[in-house]
Amino acid sequence: ATMPPLLSAIANAGRHGVLVKSAVVMERLGQVDAVALDKTGTLTEGTPRVTDIRSLAASGLSQDEVLRLAAAAEHPSEHPLARAVVDAARTRDLDIPPVRDFTSAPGTGVTATVDGRTVAVGSPARLLDGGSHPAAAVAERLENEGRTAVLVTLDGTPVGVLGIADRLREGAAATVTALTALAGTTPLLVTGDNPRAAARLADEVGITDVRAGLLPQDKVSAVQDLERAGRRVLVVGDGVNDAPALAAAHTGVAMGRAGSDLALETADAVVVRDELAAVPTVVGLSRRARRLVA
């Protein structure tokens, strides 16, 4: 028998490095007319590096001490920012002490007990809760340079700020252009990162609609608002924080290489070879297959 068009399209998507989980998904991919893209790990490579270490004068800690505490608290986390912090500590030959009581809050950060004291590492906006601590100004300066700033607190008191930078994926701007053409609408950038770094990156790839500082549930709301307006939304993401939006979307696609297990399991399709350009390619494959079915 000749292969039904949607099954051929699945095989073809596989050759482009995309695992499409079913024929229904293959069909739905071509129906989308709106796109929501995550930033970290989706439009960026997802292998960020620590570029700046600031210890707050009042803390009395050295840069290395700030980094050591942060790395200890981040050690159990699978978040790309956590890996950047741990790598920076290793590069400086710092010993990373064991921790207890580790917890993580998607879109916010991590907390753990280090040397009997509570260390939190995460979003300055969320940890400072809008308060006007000197640390907020340090973070804002880094964010204006396009960095993701993470605050380090010790027993609830800010002691330092780390600046972290990630590279744009190769071809990200071209992919945004291709998705815009296929969907007929400009994509939305949905990110948990700060608005300043998000705006800079959006500018580089040609996205004008930027939603920053979002919690996982806020990403779901952004998708649902579009769906209620009659749109069929394609969500592309990689993190645990993207899983609810991937599930809520008409079609959810996860970036595979650095993607979290939860995102890969929740998504309808996985970009296994990690090439963002494959996303518009499979939307095109779906459109062609659907014309053959019809």
Pair 245, 36: CB distance under 8 Å: yes
Strands (E), 57-108: 99-105
215: Cα separation from own chain's centroid: 11
User: Which of 66, 68, 77, 259 touches ligand ADP (CB under 6 A)?
Assistant: 77
When binding is defined by CB under 6 A, the residue of 111, 191, 251, 281 that contacts ligand ADP is 191
Should residue 160 be labelled a site residue for ligand ADP when binding is judged by CB under 6 A? no
In the 8-state DSSP scheme, what is residue 257? S
Q: Which of ligand ADP, Mg ion, none does 218 bind, CB closer than 5 to 8 A by kind?
A: none
Q: Which of 238, 268, 274, 275 binds Mg ion (CB under 5 A)?
A: 238
Residue in 33, 38, 101, 261 annotated catalytic: 38
Judged by CB, which is closer to Mg ion: 218, or 238? 238
Give the shortest CB-103-to-Mg ion separation in angstroms. 20
**# of chain residues touching ligand ADP (CB under 6 A):** 23
Query: Which of 35, 67, 150, 226 forms a contact with ligand ADP (CB under 6 A)?
Result: 150
Other beta carbons less than 10 A from residue 238's beta carbon: 29
CA 49 vs CA 68, 78, 81, 196, 275: distances in Å: 15, 15, 8, 18, 21
Contact yes or no for 30/9 (Cβ under 8 A): no
Sign of CA dihedral 263, 267, 272, 278: negative
What is each CA distance from 220 to 73, 132, 159, 217, 279, in whole angstroms? 28, 30, 33, 5, 20
Q: Is 38 a catalytic residue?
A: yes
The residue from 5, 6, 39, 99 that contacts ligand ADP (CB under 6 A) is 39
Among ligand ADP, Mg ion, none, the one that 268 touches (CB under a kind-dependent 5 to 8 A) is none
**Residue ranges in contact with ligand ADP by CB under 6 A:** 38-41, 74, 77, 79, 81-82, 107-110, 121-123, 148, 150, 191-193, 239, 241
Active site residue ranges: 38
